[in-house]
Chains A and B, each alone.
Chain A
Amino acid sequence: MQFRLNEKPRFMEFYRAVLFMPVIISLVSTGFIWTLMLSSNIGFINPVLKDLGLGFLARNWLSDPTTALPTVIAVTAWNSVGWAIVIYLSGLQNVPEELKQAAHIDGANGWQTFWRVVFPQLSPSFTALTVLTFIGTFKTFDLVYVLTGPLGSPNYRTDVVGTLIYRTAFGGSGNYTDDISMSFAIALALVVFAFMTFIAWALIKILRRQEIQS
Protein backbone atom coordinates (compact mmCIF):
# COMPACT_ATOMS: atom_id res chain seq x y z
CA MET A 1 0.00 0.00 0.00
CA GLN A 2 2.70 2.46 1.03
CA PHE A 3 4.88 1.33 -1.84
CA ARG A 4 2.16 2.35 -4.25
CA LEU A 5 1.45 5.78 -2.89
CA ASN A 6 5.06 6.70 -3.36
CA GLU A 7 5.14 5.89 -7.05
CA LYS A 8 2.68 7.86 -9.12
CA PRO A 9 2.50 11.53 -8.38
CA ARG A 10 -0.78 12.29 -10.18
CA PHE A 11 -3.57 10.89 -8.02
CA MET A 12 -1.31 9.98 -5.16
CA GLU A 13 -1.43 13.42 -3.62
CA PHE A 14 -5.22 13.06 -3.48
CA TYR A 15 -5.20 9.54 -2.01
CA ARG A 16 -2.57 10.53 0.50
CA ALA A 17 -4.63 13.52 1.61
CA VAL A 18 -7.82 11.46 1.88
CA LEU A 19 -6.31 8.50 3.72
CA PHE A 20 -4.70 10.79 6.30
CA MET A 21 -7.97 12.62 6.98
CA PRO A 22 -9.25 10.43 9.86
CA VAL A 23 -6.04 11.09 11.79
CA ILE A 24 -7.02 14.69 12.42
CA ILE A 25 -10.66 13.87 13.24
CA SER A 26 -11.13 13.54 17.00
CA LEU A 27 -11.72 10.11 18.48
CA VAL A 28 -15.02 11.39 19.86
CA SER A 29 -16.21 12.42 16.39
CA THR A 30 -14.90 9.12 14.98
CA GLY A 31 -16.84 7.31 17.69
CA PHE A 32 -20.09 9.08 16.82
CA ILE A 33 -19.60 8.67 13.07
CA TRP A 34 -19.22 4.92 13.53
CA THR A 35 -21.97 4.64 16.14
CA LEU A 36 -24.24 6.00 13.44
CA MET A 37 -22.74 3.91 10.61
CA LEU A 38 -23.11 0.72 12.65
CA SER A 39 -26.37 1.42 14.45
CA SER A 40 -28.91 -1.37 14.14
CA ASN A 41 -31.89 0.72 13.10
CA ILE A 42 -30.60 4.05 11.76
CA GLY A 43 -27.21 2.93 10.49
CA PHE A 44 -25.56 2.68 7.13
CA ILE A 45 -23.82 -0.70 7.15
CA ASN A 46 -26.83 -2.86 7.99
CA PRO A 47 -29.31 -1.31 5.50
CA VAL A 48 -26.66 -1.49 2.75
CA LEU A 49 -26.01 -5.17 3.54
CA LYS A 50 -29.76 -5.88 3.43
CA ASP A 51 -30.17 -4.10 0.10
CA LEU A 52 -27.26 -6.08 -1.33
CA GLY A 53 -29.01 -9.30 -0.35
CA LEU A 54 -26.49 -9.94 2.42
CA GLY A 55 -29.02 -9.38 5.20
CA PHE A 56 -27.78 -12.42 7.10
CA LEU A 57 -24.52 -10.54 7.75
CA ALA A 58 -26.34 -7.61 9.33
CA ARG A 59 -26.11 -7.55 13.08
CA ASN A 60 -25.96 -5.27 16.05
CA TRP A 61 -22.22 -4.82 15.64
CA LEU A 62 -21.50 -3.03 18.90
CA SER A 63 -23.81 -4.97 21.22
CA ASP A 64 -23.27 -8.46 19.83
CA PRO A 65 -20.66 -9.97 22.22
CA THR A 66 -18.82 -11.72 19.38
CA THR A 67 -18.41 -8.64 17.16
CA ALA A 68 -18.18 -5.83 19.72
CA LEU A 69 -14.43 -5.93 20.33
CA PRO A 70 -13.41 -6.57 16.69
CA THR A 71 -15.64 -3.64 15.70
CA VAL A 72 -13.96 -1.32 18.20
CA ILE A 73 -10.57 -2.50 16.87
CA ALA A 74 -11.63 -1.86 13.27
CA VAL A 75 -12.77 1.68 14.12
CA THR A 76 -9.46 2.33 15.89
CA ALA A 77 -7.67 1.19 12.74
CA TRP A 78 -9.87 3.46 10.58
CA ASN A 79 -8.75 6.38 12.68
CA SER A 80 -5.02 5.72 12.60
CA VAL A 81 -4.07 3.84 9.43
CA GLY A 82 -3.39 7.08 7.54
CA TRP A 83 -0.77 8.01 10.11
CA ALA A 84 1.08 4.76 9.50
CA ILE A 85 0.87 5.28 5.73
CA VAL A 86 2.48 8.72 5.92
CA ILE A 87 5.27 7.45 8.20
CA TYR A 88 6.02 4.60 5.79
CA LEU A 89 5.96 7.07 2.90
CA SER A 90 8.61 9.23 4.50
CA GLY A 91 10.65 6.05 5.06
CA LEU A 92 10.20 5.08 1.40
CA GLN A 93 11.73 8.33 0.25
CA ASN A 94 15.00 7.11 1.75
CA VAL A 95 15.01 3.80 -0.15
CA PRO A 96 17.65 4.17 -2.89
CA GLU A 97 16.26 3.87 -6.41
CA GLU A 98 19.30 1.77 -7.49
CA LEU A 99 18.29 -1.02 -5.09
CA LYS A 100 14.92 -1.39 -6.79
CA GLN A 101 16.51 -1.27 -10.25
CA ALA A 102 19.07 -3.88 -9.24
CA ALA A 103 16.29 -6.18 -8.04
CA HIS A 104 14.43 -5.64 -11.30
CA ILE A 105 17.49 -6.53 -13.38
CA ASP A 106 17.98 -9.66 -11.27
CA GLY A 107 14.49 -10.70 -12.36
CA ALA A 108 12.51 -10.03 -9.20
CA ASN A 109 8.82 -9.27 -9.69
CA GLY A 110 7.08 -6.37 -7.94
CA TRP A 111 5.96 -8.48 -5.01
CA GLN A 112 9.45 -9.90 -4.40
CA THR A 113 11.04 -6.48 -4.83
CA PHE A 114 8.76 -5.07 -2.17
CA TRP A 115 9.10 -7.78 0.48
CA ARG A 116 12.75 -8.72 -0.04
CA VAL A 117 14.31 -5.39 -0.98
CA VAL A 118 12.14 -2.41 -0.07
CA PHE A 119 10.49 -3.58 3.15
CA PRO A 120 13.76 -4.41 4.96
CA GLN A 121 14.85 -0.84 4.24
CA LEU A 122 11.72 0.31 6.05
CA SER A 123 12.48 -1.61 9.23
CA PRO A 124 13.28 1.52 11.31
CA SER A 125 9.86 2.94 10.39
CA PHE A 126 8.32 -0.44 11.19
CA THR A 127 9.91 -0.46 14.65
CA ALA A 128 8.82 3.10 15.43
CA LEU A 129 5.28 2.41 14.23
CA THR A 130 4.91 -0.85 16.14
CA VAL A 131 6.08 0.66 19.40
CA LEU A 132 4.12 3.91 19.05
CA THR A 133 0.96 2.11 17.96
CA PHE A 134 1.32 -0.26 20.90
CA ILE A 135 1.65 2.63 23.36
CA GLY A 136 -1.15 4.60 21.70
CA THR A 137 -3.56 1.68 21.61
CA PHE A 138 -2.75 0.61 25.13
CA LYS A 139 -4.07 3.98 26.29
CA THR A 140 -7.34 3.61 24.35
CA PHE A 141 -10.16 5.31 26.15
CA ASP A 142 -12.10 7.83 24.05
CA LEU A 143 -13.33 5.42 21.40
CA VAL A 144 -14.47 2.78 23.86
CA TYR A 145 -16.17 5.44 25.98
CA VAL A 146 -18.14 6.73 22.98
CA LEU A 147 -18.79 3.45 21.15
CA THR A 148 -19.67 1.11 24.01
CA GLY A 149 -19.68 3.29 27.13
CA PRO A 150 -17.52 3.52 30.28
CA LEU A 151 -18.59 0.00 31.24
CA GLY A 152 -17.22 -1.53 28.06
CA SER A 153 -20.56 -3.14 27.23
CA PRO A 154 -21.80 -5.68 26.29
CA ASN A 155 -20.94 -7.36 29.59
CA TYR A 156 -17.42 -5.82 29.78
CA ARG A 157 -16.54 -7.34 26.40
CA THR A 158 -14.89 -4.09 25.26
CA ASP A 159 -13.53 -3.06 28.65
CA VAL A 160 -9.95 -1.73 28.45
CA VAL A 161 -7.51 -0.57 31.11
CA GLY A 162 -8.41 3.07 30.38
CA THR A 163 -12.09 2.56 31.20
CA LEU A 164 -11.22 0.38 34.18
CA ILE A 165 -9.02 3.10 35.70
CA TYR A 166 -11.65 5.76 34.98
CA ARG A 167 -14.39 3.66 36.56
CA THR A 168 -12.28 2.86 39.59
CA ALA A 169 -11.61 6.55 40.20
CA PHE A 170 -15.00 8.01 39.43
CA GLY A 171 -17.48 5.14 39.44
CA GLY A 172 -19.65 4.39 36.42
CA SER A 173 -21.43 7.71 36.76
CA GLY A 174 -18.29 9.82 36.45
CA ASN A 175 -18.71 11.48 39.84
CA TYR A 176 -15.84 11.82 42.26
CA THR A 177 -16.63 9.61 45.23
CA ASP A 178 -13.87 9.18 47.76
CA ASP A 179 -10.13 9.42 48.19
CA ILE A 180 -9.67 5.67 48.67
CA SER A 181 -10.97 4.67 45.26
CA MET A 182 -8.97 7.55 43.78
CA SER A 183 -5.78 6.25 45.39
CA PHE A 184 -6.59 2.75 44.23
CA ALA A 185 -7.09 4.01 40.67
CA ILE A 186 -3.75 5.87 40.74
CA ALA A 187 -2.03 2.68 41.96
CA LEU A 188 -3.71 0.79 39.11
CA ALA A 189 -2.51 3.39 36.60
CA LEU A 190 1.05 3.05 37.90
CA VAL A 191 1.02 -0.73 37.53
CA VAL A 192 -0.35 -0.43 34.01
CA PHE A 193 2.29 2.17 33.16
CA ALA A 194 5.08 -0.07 34.46
CA PHE A 195 3.76 -2.98 32.43
CA MET A 196 3.42 -0.85 29.30
CA THR A 197 6.93 0.56 29.65
CA PHE A 198 8.36 -2.94 30.02
CA ILE A 199 6.57 -4.28 26.93
CA ALA A 200 7.54 -1.22 24.89
CA TRP A 201 11.16 -1.63 25.95
CA ALA A 202 11.11 -5.35 25.04
CA LEU A 203 9.50 -4.56 21.68
CA ILE A 204 12.21 -2.03 20.87
CA LYS A 205 14.93 -4.53 21.85
CA ILE A 206 13.48 -7.32 19.71
CA LEU A 207 12.64 -5.20 16.68
CA ARG A 208 15.94 -3.32 16.66
CA ARG A 209 17.74 -6.66 16.39
CA GLN A 210 15.72 -7.51 13.27
CA GLU A 211 16.55 -4.23 11.58
CA ILE A 212 19.09 -4.38 8.79
CA GLN A 213 22.45 -2.88 9.55
CA SER A 214 23.15 0.07 7.35
Chain B
Amino acid sequence: MTAPSLAERRRRRGANAARTRLIVGTARSVFLAILSLMVLVPIAYMVLASFKTVPDFFGNPYGLPGTWAWDNYSRAWRDAHISVTLPNTIIVTAVSVIGSTLLAALIAYGISRKEKPFAMGLYTFFVAGLLVPVNMIVLPLFILIKWLGLFGTLLALIFPYIALGLPLGVLILGPIAATLPRDLISAAQVDGATEWQIFRRIVLPLMKPGLISVAILNGVWMWNEFFIPLIVAFKPESQTMPVGIVSFVGAYSTEWGLVFASVVVSTAPILFAYLLMTRQFQSGLTAGAVKG
Protein backbone atom coordinates (compact mmCIF):
# COMPACT_ATOMS: atom_id res chain seq x y z
CA MET B 1 0.00 0.00 0.00
CA THR B 2 1.55 3.23 -1.09
CA ALA B 3 0.72 6.50 0.60
CA PRO B 4 -0.90 9.02 -1.75
CA SER B 5 1.52 11.64 -2.93
CA LEU B 6 1.47 15.09 -1.41
CA ALA B 7 -0.01 16.54 -4.59
CA GLU B 8 -2.70 13.87 -4.59
CA ARG B 9 -3.62 14.61 -0.97
CA ARG B 10 -3.80 18.30 -1.63
CA ARG B 11 -6.03 17.73 -4.66
CA ARG B 12 -8.39 15.56 -2.62
CA ARG B 13 -8.58 18.08 0.17
CA GLY B 14 -9.36 20.77 -2.39
CA ALA B 15 -12.16 18.64 -3.82
CA ASN B 16 -13.53 18.01 -0.34
CA ALA B 17 -13.51 21.70 0.49
CA ALA B 18 -15.27 22.45 -2.78
CA ARG B 19 -17.92 19.82 -2.01
CA THR B 20 -18.44 21.21 1.52
CA ARG B 21 -18.78 24.69 0.10
CA LEU B 22 -21.37 23.47 -2.37
CA ILE B 23 -23.40 21.70 0.35
CA VAL B 24 -23.23 24.67 2.69
CA GLY B 25 -24.12 27.02 -0.14
CA THR B 26 -27.13 24.92 -1.13
CA ALA B 27 -28.31 24.57 2.48
CA ARG B 28 -27.99 28.32 2.84
CA SER B 29 -30.06 29.00 -0.29
CA VAL B 30 -32.75 26.50 0.72
CA PHE B 31 -32.93 28.01 4.21
CA LEU B 32 -33.26 31.54 2.85
CA ALA B 33 -35.81 30.45 0.26
CA ILE B 34 -37.97 28.81 2.97
CA LEU B 35 -37.76 31.93 5.13
CA SER B 36 -38.75 34.11 2.18
CA LEU B 37 -41.71 31.86 1.42
CA MET B 38 -42.81 32.16 5.04
CA VAL B 39 -43.02 35.90 4.44
CA LEU B 40 -44.39 35.92 0.91
CA VAL B 41 -47.04 33.19 1.17
CA PRO B 42 -49.11 34.93 3.87
CA ILE B 43 -48.90 38.23 1.99
CA ALA B 44 -49.95 36.60 -1.29
CA TYR B 45 -52.69 34.76 0.55
CA MET B 46 -54.00 38.05 1.93
CA VAL B 47 -54.25 39.45 -1.61
CA LEU B 48 -56.00 36.30 -2.90
CA ALA B 49 -58.40 36.34 0.04
CA SER B 50 -59.47 39.86 -0.86
CA PHE B 51 -60.86 38.54 -4.16
CA LYS B 52 -62.76 35.59 -2.74
CA THR B 53 -66.47 35.21 -2.19
CA VAL B 54 -67.69 33.82 1.11
CA PRO B 55 -68.49 30.29 -0.23
CA ASP B 56 -65.05 30.27 -1.88
CA PHE B 57 -63.37 30.64 1.52
CA PHE B 58 -64.95 27.44 2.77
CA GLY B 59 -64.98 25.36 -0.43
CA ASN B 60 -61.51 26.27 -1.65
CA PRO B 61 -59.35 27.36 1.27
CA TYR B 62 -55.94 27.76 -0.32
CA GLY B 63 -56.51 27.81 -4.07
CA LEU B 64 -57.04 30.73 -6.38
CA PRO B 65 -60.42 32.40 -6.10
CA GLY B 66 -63.09 30.49 -8.10
CA THR B 67 -64.57 33.73 -9.32
CA TRP B 68 -62.55 36.90 -8.85
CA ALA B 69 -64.84 39.03 -6.71
CA TRP B 70 -63.61 42.49 -7.71
CA ASP B 71 -66.70 43.99 -6.14
CA ASN B 72 -65.25 43.12 -2.70
CA TYR B 73 -63.31 46.35 -3.11
CA SER B 74 -66.22 48.54 -4.11
CA ARG B 75 -68.33 47.00 -1.34
CA ALA B 76 -65.53 47.50 1.18
CA TRP B 77 -65.25 51.13 0.05
CA ARG B 78 -68.91 51.62 0.94
CA ASP B 79 -69.80 49.06 3.63
CA ALA B 80 -66.49 48.83 5.47
CA HIS B 81 -66.25 52.65 5.37
CA ILE B 82 -62.91 52.79 3.57
CA SER B 83 -64.34 55.91 1.93
CA VAL B 84 -64.01 57.55 5.35
CA THR B 85 -61.06 55.78 6.94
CA LEU B 86 -58.64 55.92 3.99
CA PRO B 87 -58.83 59.72 3.55
CA ASN B 88 -58.59 60.06 7.34
CA THR B 89 -55.45 57.93 7.45
CA ILE B 90 -53.87 59.85 4.56
CA ILE B 91 -54.63 63.27 6.10
CA VAL B 92 -53.50 62.31 9.61
CA THR B 93 -50.27 60.69 8.39
CA ALA B 94 -49.38 63.47 5.94
CA VAL B 95 -50.06 66.36 8.33
CA SER B 96 -48.33 64.63 11.26
CA VAL B 97 -45.27 63.57 9.26
CA ILE B 98 -44.75 67.04 7.81
CA GLY B 99 -45.50 68.71 11.13
CA SER B 100 -43.25 66.59 13.29
CA THR B 101 -40.37 66.40 10.79
CA LEU B 102 -40.28 70.18 10.34
CA LEU B 103 -40.64 70.82 14.04
CA ALA B 104 -37.87 68.32 14.83
CA ALA B 105 -35.63 70.03 12.25
CA LEU B 106 -36.32 73.42 13.84
CA ILE B 107 -35.60 72.05 17.30
CA ALA B 108 -32.41 70.29 16.19
CA TYR B 109 -31.14 73.39 14.41
CA GLY B 110 -32.10 75.61 17.32
CA ILE B 111 -30.25 73.37 19.76
CA SER B 112 -27.15 73.41 17.54
CA ARG B 113 -27.04 77.22 17.76
CA LYS B 114 -27.20 77.30 21.59
CA GLU B 115 -24.39 77.23 24.13
CA LYS B 116 -23.19 73.81 25.18
CA PRO B 117 -24.70 72.95 28.60
CA PHE B 118 -28.07 74.41 27.67
CA ALA B 119 -28.04 72.62 24.31
CA MET B 120 -27.19 69.26 25.87
CA GLY B 121 -29.96 69.70 28.41
CA LEU B 122 -32.53 70.45 25.72
CA TYR B 123 -31.36 67.56 23.54
CA THR B 124 -31.57 65.14 26.48
CA PHE B 125 -35.00 66.48 27.35
CA PHE B 126 -36.41 65.77 23.88
CA VAL B 127 -34.69 62.41 23.44
CA ALA B 128 -35.84 61.28 26.90
CA GLY B 129 -39.33 61.17 25.38
CA LEU B 130 -38.28 57.88 23.77
CA LEU B 131 -38.31 56.23 27.18
CA VAL B 132 -41.99 56.93 27.71
CA PRO B 133 -44.10 54.07 26.39
CA VAL B 134 -47.30 54.92 24.54
CA ASN B 135 -49.29 52.52 26.72
CA MET B 136 -48.56 54.67 29.72
CA ILE B 137 -49.53 58.04 28.31
CA VAL B 138 -52.54 57.01 26.26
CA LEU B 139 -55.01 57.05 29.15
CA PRO B 140 -54.04 60.54 30.38
CA LEU B 141 -54.14 61.49 26.70
CA PHE B 142 -57.74 60.25 26.52
CA ILE B 143 -58.65 62.51 29.45
CA LEU B 144 -56.82 65.47 27.89
CA ILE B 145 -58.46 65.05 24.48
CA LYS B 146 -61.85 64.68 26.15
CA TRP B 147 -61.25 67.87 28.11
CA LEU B 148 -60.20 69.70 24.93
CA GLY B 149 -63.35 68.44 23.21
CA LEU B 150 -61.44 66.99 20.26
CA PHE B 151 -63.21 63.60 20.07
CA GLY B 152 -64.47 62.98 16.56
CA THR B 153 -61.91 65.28 14.95
CA LEU B 154 -58.64 64.31 13.30
CA LEU B 155 -56.80 66.76 15.56
CA ALA B 156 -57.25 64.19 18.34
CA LEU B 157 -54.68 62.14 16.42
CA ILE B 158 -52.58 64.83 14.75
CA PHE B 159 -51.54 66.59 17.97
CA PRO B 160 -50.34 63.45 19.78
CA TYR B 161 -48.66 62.09 16.64
CA ILE B 162 -46.65 65.26 16.08
CA ALA B 163 -45.56 65.26 19.72
CA LEU B 164 -44.70 61.55 19.73
CA GLY B 165 -42.72 61.93 16.50
CA LEU B 166 -40.39 64.53 18.00
CA PRO B 167 -38.06 62.43 20.21
CA LEU B 168 -36.81 60.23 17.36
CA GLY B 169 -36.73 63.21 15.03
CA VAL B 170 -34.50 65.16 17.41
CA LEU B 171 -32.38 62.06 18.10
CA ILE B 172 -31.63 61.64 14.39
CA LEU B 173 -31.47 65.30 13.34
CA GLY B 174 -29.60 66.60 16.40
CA PRO B 175 -26.18 65.16 15.47
CA ILE B 176 -26.70 66.18 11.82
CA ALA B 177 -27.49 69.77 12.84
CA ALA B 178 -24.40 69.84 15.06
CA THR B 179 -22.13 69.08 12.10
CA LEU B 180 -23.58 71.69 9.73
CA PRO B 181 -20.79 73.87 8.28
CA ARG B 182 -20.72 76.99 10.43
CA ASP B 183 -18.88 79.04 7.79
CA LEU B 184 -21.77 78.64 5.37
CA ILE B 185 -24.23 79.96 7.94
CA SER B 186 -21.97 82.87 8.92
CA ALA B 187 -21.43 83.70 5.25
CA ALA B 188 -25.18 83.79 4.69
CA GLN B 189 -25.56 86.05 7.73
CA VAL B 190 -22.94 88.41 6.33
CA ASP B 191 -24.85 88.47 3.05
CA GLY B 192 -27.87 89.66 5.00
CA ALA B 193 -30.00 86.50 5.00
CA THR B 194 -32.65 86.29 7.72
CA GLU B 195 -32.69 83.37 10.16
CA TRP B 196 -35.70 81.95 8.39
CA GLN B 197 -33.99 82.17 4.99
CA ILE B 198 -30.90 80.44 6.38
CA PHE B 199 -33.07 77.64 7.74
CA ARG B 200 -34.99 77.17 4.50
CA ARG B 201 -32.20 77.64 1.96
CA ILE B 202 -29.20 76.16 3.78
CA VAL B 203 -30.15 74.05 6.79
CA LEU B 204 -33.06 72.08 5.37
CA PRO B 205 -31.29 71.05 2.13
CA LEU B 206 -28.21 69.94 4.08
CA MET B 207 -30.37 67.87 6.45
CA LYS B 208 -32.26 66.18 3.63
CA PRO B 209 -31.11 62.55 4.15
CA GLY B 210 -31.90 62.83 7.85
CA LEU B 211 -35.28 64.38 7.11
CA ILE B 212 -36.13 61.46 4.83
CA SER B 213 -35.19 58.96 7.57
CA VAL B 214 -37.33 60.78 10.12
CA ALA B 215 -40.27 61.06 7.73
CA ILE B 216 -40.16 57.32 6.93
CA LEU B 217 -39.70 56.29 10.53
CA ASN B 218 -42.62 58.39 11.73
CA GLY B 219 -44.77 57.85 8.65
CA VAL B 220 -44.74 54.07 9.02
CA TRP B 221 -45.92 54.00 12.61
CA MET B 222 -48.41 56.83 12.11
CA TRP B 223 -49.98 55.00 9.16
CA ASN B 224 -50.08 51.71 11.07
CA GLU B 225 -50.88 52.92 14.59
CA PHE B 226 -53.78 51.13 16.24
CA PHE B 227 -53.66 51.67 20.00
CA ILE B 228 -53.84 55.49 20.11
CA PRO B 229 -56.69 55.81 17.56
CA LEU B 230 -58.55 52.97 19.27
CA ILE B 231 -58.60 55.10 22.42
CA VAL B 232 -58.97 58.67 21.11
CA ALA B 233 -60.46 58.28 17.62
CA PHE B 234 -63.20 55.75 18.28
CA LYS B 235 -65.97 57.79 16.64
CA PRO B 236 -66.76 56.53 13.11
CA GLU B 237 -66.05 59.88 11.45
CA SER B 238 -62.50 60.09 12.81
CA GLN B 239 -61.41 56.46 12.52
CA THR B 240 -58.23 55.53 10.66
CA MET B 241 -57.87 52.32 8.66
CA PRO B 242 -56.62 49.86 11.32
CA VAL B 243 -59.39 50.81 13.76
CA GLY B 244 -61.94 50.93 10.94
CA ILE B 245 -61.11 47.36 9.92
CA VAL B 246 -61.29 46.06 13.47
CA SER B 247 -64.64 47.67 14.12
CA PHE B 248 -65.98 46.40 10.79
CA VAL B 249 -64.96 42.86 11.77
CA GLY B 250 -66.69 43.35 15.10
CA ALA B 251 -69.92 44.17 13.29
CA TYR B 252 -69.82 41.74 10.31
CA SER B 253 -67.53 38.93 11.27
CA THR B 254 -68.30 36.67 8.30
CA GLU B 255 -67.57 39.08 5.44
CA TRP B 256 -63.97 37.92 5.10
CA GLY B 257 -63.66 39.11 1.50
CA LEU B 258 -64.47 42.68 2.51
CA VAL B 259 -62.19 42.46 5.53
CA PHE B 260 -59.25 41.44 3.38
CA ALA B 261 -60.02 43.99 0.69
CA SER B 262 -59.73 46.56 3.50
CA VAL B 263 -56.53 44.99 4.80
CA VAL B 264 -55.03 45.13 1.30
CA VAL B 265 -56.05 48.77 0.86
CA SER B 266 -54.40 49.65 4.18
CA THR B 267 -51.23 47.65 3.47
CA ALA B 268 -50.67 48.27 -0.25
CA PRO B 269 -49.66 51.97 -0.15
CA ILE B 270 -46.97 51.45 2.46
CA LEU B 271 -45.73 48.22 0.87
CA PHE B 272 -45.52 50.01 -2.47
CA ALA B 273 -43.56 52.89 -0.95
CA TYR B 274 -41.25 50.32 0.65
CA LEU B 275 -40.58 48.56 -2.65
CA LEU B 276 -39.70 51.91 -4.26
CA MET B 277 -37.29 52.91 -1.50
CA THR B 278 -36.22 49.63 0.12
CA ARG B 279 -32.85 50.83 1.37
CA GLN B 280 -34.12 54.10 2.80
CA PHE B 281 -36.88 52.26 4.68
CA GLN B 282 -34.47 49.73 6.11
CA SER B 283 -31.93 52.28 7.27
CA GLY B 284 -34.63 54.70 8.43
CA LEU B 285 -36.52 52.15 10.50
CA THR B 286 -33.40 50.85 12.17
CA ALA B 287 -31.76 54.27 12.62
CA GLY B 288 -33.07 54.75 16.15
CA ALA B 289 -31.88 51.34 17.29
CA VAL B 290 -28.40 51.64 15.80
CA LYS B 291 -27.85 55.07 17.31
CA GLY B 292 -29.52 54.66 20.69
Contact of A90 among B49, B249, B278, B286 (CB under 8 A): B286
Contact of A42 among B35, B39, B256 (CB under 8 A): B256
Interface size on B, residues (CB 8 A): 61
Q: Does B135 count as interface, using CB distance less than 8 angstroms?
A: yes
Given A29-B263, A33-B263, A44-B61, answer yes or no on A24-B274 (Cβ-Cβ < 8 Å): yes
Least CB distance, A167 to chain B, in whole angstroms: 12
A48 to B61 CA separation, bound complex (whole angstroms): 9
B136 with A90: CB separation less than 8 A: no
Q: Does A132 count as interface, using CB distance less than 8 angstroms?
A: yes
- With a CB–CB cut-off of 8 A, which chain B residues contact A125? 290
Q: Does B45 count as interface, using CB distance less than 8 angstroms?
A: yes
A90 with B139: CB separation less than 8 A: no
B226 with A86: CB separation less than 8 A: no
B285 with A128: CB separation less than 8 A: no
A82 to B39 CA separation, bound complex (whole angstroms): 10
Q: Does A203 count as interface, using CB distance less than 8 angstroms?
A: no
- With a CB–CB cut-off of 8 A, which chain B residues contact A132? 289, 292
Q: Does B186 count as interface, using CB distance less than 8 angstroms?
A: no
Least CB distance, A35 to chain B, in whole angstroms: 9
Of chain B, the residue at the smallest CB distance from A50 is: B61
Q: Map CB proximity to B onto A81-119 as digits: 1 under 8 Å, 0 otherwise.
A: 011001100100000000000000000001000000000
A32 with B139: CB separation less than 8 A: no
Contact of A190 among B136, B227, B245, B266 (CB under 8 A): B136
B134 with A110: CB separation less than 8 A: no
Given A87-B290, A141-B227, answer yes or no on A33-B270 (Cβ-Cβ < 8 Å): no
B46 with A29: CB separation less than 8 A: yes
